[in-house]
Amino acid sequence: MALENLRYGIIGTGMMGLEHQRNLAALNGATVTALADPHQPSLDRAVAEVGGSEAVTFLDYRDLLSSGLVDAVVIASPNMTHIEVAADAIRSGLHVMIEKPLATTVADCLALMELPQRENQVVAVGLEYRYMPPVAALIDVVRSGQLGDSKMVSITEHRFPFLVKVNDWNRFNENTGGTLVEKCCHFFDLMAVLTESEPVSVMASGAMDVNHLDERYDGRTPDILDNAFVIVEFANGMRASLDLCMFAEGSVDQEAISVVGSTGKAEAFLPSSKLRIGTRTGWHQGVTEHVVEDPSIGHEGFHHGASYVEHVHFAEAIRTGKKPSICLADGLRSVAVGVAAHRSIDEGRVVQMAEILGGSLS
């Protein structure tokens, strides 16, 4: 099979499906040849998008998988469908990118990991936050040793509420896996990247205090958290914290990620794309700040170009036979920390990751 031009199918053509479609339209050597979604209005919108008008459409994703029209599929369907759709996609032998979260439960993540894969099949997970230019630069700073021995990671996300989705599926934990899985798996992945260690325990506090309280769906009130604090301890002694608030539109930067080491501190900010680095030479002394840009990014989109970089890595892995840069184990870990955080909130205690994972990542 010639790989100069990769043929992609997109399963799930809602907001993230369209985002993937736009990124692939900007990527050399990529063509979206098929689209699948059971919701006809979403499918119609995808056809109207750049790169979608020539694609063959399917209401049933299984027909796309068996069509022979694609080399790779991107799964951007609702979270609760990932286990079935991803399992079928992996079994098909096609290359697969699964949007975050990998699945809504640890058991489902493990089930996907246990599926046999054909030789050189690439199965990747869409945890693209690590590719955002200022975040990628922060990771480089940490790994360069500029901060000395890293000790603490702090992530703040102060943002707007969850968006409206088809059939309002994202209003209930049973569909999303919970806010700390649905939204925050990105951040738990970043914690693991920045600490270069495995999580061992999680302590969290959270609630649903402001958003969605007056909404009703078939008589039910949404149950998704809209704010939380999470502390994660890692095997190498490092600690990381998450401060999440989803009724904080009054913020300047939506996200701030900082790492403090024995000799300095580095911070990345979004959407300003600033990277700030300081040393322990004196209060406010030796601090530099600049905007980080990546001119190689062909489409900026919703995630500051990270989804484009994600697709560059995915396509490279397909063409070279390399392992994906973000694999199923990364997806499992990010979900498992979210699950542990929810258990910590529900039970009011510190949760050991061994309770959640056993020896799954050892």
User: Strand, coil or helix: what is 142?
Assistant: helix
Indicate the angle between helix axes 185-195 and 133-144, nearest 10 degrees. 30
346's enclosing H/E stretch is helix 328-347
Q: What is the DSSP letter of 268?
A: E
pTM for the whole structure? 0.95
Instruction: Identify the structural domains of the chain with CATH numbers, from first to last.
Output: 6-128+309-325 (3.40.50.720), 130-299+332-357 (3.30.360.10)
Distance CA 81, CA 103 (A): 8
Contact (Cβ atoms closer than 8 angstroms) between residue 34 and residue 55: yes
Mean pLDDT of 202-211: 98
User: CB under 8 Å to 40, separation ≥6 — which residues?
Assistant: 59
Distance CA 328, CA 110 (A): 9
Q: Residue 23 pLDDT more than 50?
A: yes
Mean pLDDT of 74-82: 98
Locate tokens 């996907």: which residue? Answer: 112
Structure confidence at residue 2 (pLDDT) = 45
Q: What is the DSSP letter of 83?
A: H
Distance CA 187, CA 333 (A): 11
DSSP 173-191: HHHHS-HHHHTTHHHHHHH
Contact (Cβ atoms closer than 8 angstroms) between residue 27 and residue 298: yes
CA angle 35, 39, 41 (to 5 degrees): 90
Per-residue confidence band for 362, with pLDDT thresholds at 50, 70 and 90: low
Distance CA 190, CA 168 (A): 28
Closest to 310 (Cα-Cα) out of 133, 50, 121: 133
Contact (Cβ atoms closer than 8 angstroms) between residue 338 and residue 101: yes
Q: Is the peptide bond before 271 cis (omega within 30 degrees of 0)?
A: yes
Task: List, for residues 30-63, the tens digit of each pLDDT value.
Answer: 999 999 999 999 999 999 998 888 999 999 999 9
DSSP 315-345: HHHHHH-PPPSS-HHHHHHHHHHHHHHHHHH
Distance CA 51, CA 18 (A): 10
Mean pLDDT of 152-171: 95
User: Strand, coil or helix: what is 130?
Assistant: helix
Task: List, for residues 209-262, the tens digit of each pLDDT value.
Answer: 999 999 999 999 999 999 999 999 999 999 999 999 999 999 999 999 999 999
